[in-house]
Amino acid sequence: MSSSDPCPVQKTAVLLSDTWTMLIIRDLLEGEQRFCDLERSLEGISTRTLTNKLKKLEEDKLIRKTESGCYEATDKGKGLRTVETAMRRYGEKYL
């Protein structure tokens, strides 16, 4: 890695830097969800914000929309399970 390349921690931090990304991933790690299910689960998110976040997560190949119109985590998205688990444990212990 050259000094001009961001480190893997920095790249991951940028990917997960907004409030909603990990919360959407958290929900989709539990299984397929419809838009309305995600909207109900993510208290305080606007329809527009959720739409934009889902599009971005699809572009980043973390989630995909199924033929039935639900959203699900891709293998790349499921790779964040260890991050989600670590965040949950940290929050339970320290916050």
pLDDT at 2: 57
Question: Could you tell me the CATH number of the domain that includes residue 71?
Answer: 1.10.10.10
Task: Specify if 45 maps to a domain.
Answer: yes
Please state, rounded to an integer, the average pLDDT across all residues of the chain. Answer: 94
Q: How many domains does the chain divide into? A: 1
Separation between Cα atoms, residue 43 and residue 19, nearest integer Å: 12
Strand, helix or coil for residue 50:
helix
Q: Residue 83: give the domain boundaries.
A: 8-94
pLDDT at 68: 96
Task: Specify if 2 maps to a domain.
Answer: no
Does 40 score more than 90 pLDDT?
Answer: yes
Task: Specify if 48 maps to a domain.
Answer: yes
Does 1 score more than 70 pLDDT?
Answer: no
Task: Specify if 1 maps to a domain.
Answer: no
Q: Using alpha carbons only, what angle is made at residue 44 by residues 33 and 82, rounded to the nearest 5 degrees? A: 50
Task: Specify if 15 maps to a domain.
Answer: yes
Task: Specify if 3 maps to a domain.
Answer: no
pLDDT at 3: 63
pLDDT at 67: 96
Task: Specify if 87 maps to a domain.
Answer: yes
pLDDT, tens digit, 9 for 90 and up, residues 76-94: 999 999 999 999 999 999 9
Task: Specify if 86 maps to a domain.
Answer: yes
User: What is the mean predicted confidence (pLDDT) over 1-17?
Assistant: 82
